[in-house]
Amino acid sequence: MDFKAVDAMIAEAIKSGIFPGAAYAVANKGKVVHRRAQGRHTYCPESPPTTEDTVWDLASVSKVVGTTTGAMVLHDEKKLDFHQPVSEILPEFAQNDKAKITLQNLLSHDSGLAAFHGYQLTCKRPEEVIAAIYADKLAYPTGTKTVYSDLGMITFGKLIEKLSGREFTSFLNERVFQPLKMSTSLYAPVDQIRAHCAPTEAVEPWRTELRNLRGTNTDEVRALEKEPDGTSWIRGEVHDPNAAVLAGVAGHAGLFSTLDDLARFMAMLLKKGDGLISTPTVELFTRRQSDASSRALGWDTNFMHDASAGKLFSETSFGHTGYTGTSVWGDFENETFCILLTNRVHPTSANTKIIPFRTKFHDGVFQAIHG
């Protein structure tokens, strides 16, 4: 296997401004066959170099590594019934014609909930965000189409707490991260971890206001976020606005992790659960659910080769992307997984060059492995 072309592709992406740094790993037939980091935390020449140990804001990859895996565990424990209405578990969710939405509707993204709302502009406390979602009106009739929804996965995070009887992060730590030895996978990182995080964008006015209200806009935080050239960027605080209002802990975003932690996680899935989750449950959650979309349960698939996994990973490959520039893809048919971690939102999320790059990258990875 020769990954020189893949490495050159990443180097060129850094040079052309797709992202300032990247860490990536590839496994085939149960073994990591390539693992590397390139670039720096920012475009400042004195910025710390990106390493295999850099900690990344996973953004929506949190939906599968955290929330969906929690759902898998609860499914194995027979505490989760896909066909149960959400309102039977969270009664306040029933407002405005949402009483019939099921747990499966949330995981399949056909619930009728809107894709997102900018709650950072209207809410200051986590309870306000949750109340607003429960009171929201349907954007379309439940089950009639697929609309990828942050609101649905935020709600599912609250379901996990109710069904498990545990606080969201405690449950995931105990049942997923600790058994897999994912020691640097966490929500709302402490300062010691934040110092190793790849920065994202500049601190927005609403975020400054939120920090001031919470007493977190400290000299220590400002020093942590300052680069050698004097610029300042969000570092180790969740980039997603709604997750920020939710104090960094949410079902749709907020998880931070590293290359090696995610490699352990993806290796578990490629081994069909490896004792942590049952094989039938892994197969169920990673399988496309209907002809209406490419969506599995929580996961997406590479159906019609129309996802960021590219044209060579199999159509049954399962994966997910994150807004900050992250992605994970697994392919049972070819016994392969690939992790790509970047901070493409630095210095601005207006930069969308990563969208075509992802498919080229995964095609290059496949060619390096399989020729």
Query: In the β-sheet with 56-57, what is the strand arrangement from edge to edge?
Result: 56-57, 255-257, 186-187
Same structural domain, 120 and 198: no
pTM: 0.98
What range defines the domain where residue 148 resides? 71-177
Residues 81 and 93: their CA atoms lie apart, in Å, by: 17
Same structural domain, 39 and 109: no
Mean pLDDT along residues 336-358: 98
Same structural domain, 280 and 160: no
Amino acid making up residue 276:
L
Same structural domain, 235 and 355: yes
Residues 24 and 124: their CA atoms lie apart, in Å, by: 36
Residues 76 and 278: their CA atoms lie apart, in Å, by: 7
Residues 108 and 298: their CA atoms lie apart, in Å, by: 6
Token pair of 151, please?
């609101």
pLDDT of residue 219: 94
Same structural domain, 126 and 190: no
Residue 7 confidence class, pLDDT cut points 50, 70, 90: very high
pLDDT digits (tens, 9 = 90+) for 79-122: 999 999 999 999 999 999 999 999 999 999 999 999 999 999 99
Same structural domain, 166 and 191: no
Same structural domain, 326 and 183: yes
Same structural domain, 351 and 217: yes
Handedness of CA 349, 154, 119, 134 (dihedral sign): positive
pLDDT of residue 191: 86
Token pair of 89, please?
């578990």
Query: The domain that contains 158 carries what CATH number?
Result: 1.20.58
Query: The domain that contains 196 carries what CATH number?
Result: 3.40.710.10
Which of 177, 197, 226 terminates a domain? The answer is 177
Taking 90 as the threshold, does the pLDDT of residue 263 lie above it? yes
Residue 371 confidence class, pLDDT cut points 50, 70, 90: confident
Torsion of CA 19, 186, 60, 248, to 10 degrees: -100
Please say whether the beta carbons of 281 and 296 come within 8 A. no
Residues 197 and 47: their CA atoms lie apart, in Å, by: 12
pLDDT digits (tens, 9 = 90+) for 155-202: 999 999 999 999 999 999 999 999 999 999 999 998 889 999 999 999
pLDDT digits (tens, 9 = 90+) for 193-203: 999 999 999 99
Please say whether the beta carbons of 239 and 225 come within 8 A. no
Please say whether the beta carbons of 343 and 325 come within 8 A. yes
Same structural domain, 351 and 304: yes
Same structural domain, 240 and 311: yes
Residues 83 and 178: their CA atoms lie apart, in Å, by: 30
Same structural domain, 200 and 316: yes
Q: Which residue in 90, 346, 117 sits closest to 245, CA to CA?
A: 117
Residues 251 and 264: their CA atoms lie apart, in Å, by: 21
Which of 145, 177, 209 terminates a domain? The answer is 177
pLDDT digits (tens, 9 = 90+) for 38-51: 999 999 999 999 99
Residue 8 has a CB neighbour count (10 Å cut-off) of 11
Which of 122, 142, 177 terminates a domain? The answer is 177
Taking 90 as the threshold, does the pLDDT of residue 271 lie above it? yes
Residues 65 and 176: their CA atoms lie apart, in Å, by: 9
Same structural domain, 203 and 109: no
H or E segment and range at residue 331: strand 326-331
Mean pLDDT along residues 295-314: 97
Domain count, the chain: 2
- The rounded radius of gyration (Å) of the Cα atoms in the chain is 20
pLDDT digits (tens, 9 = 90+) for 128-153: 999 999 999 999 999 999 999 999 99
Q: Which residue in 20, 76, 111 sits closest to 346, CA to CA?
A: 20
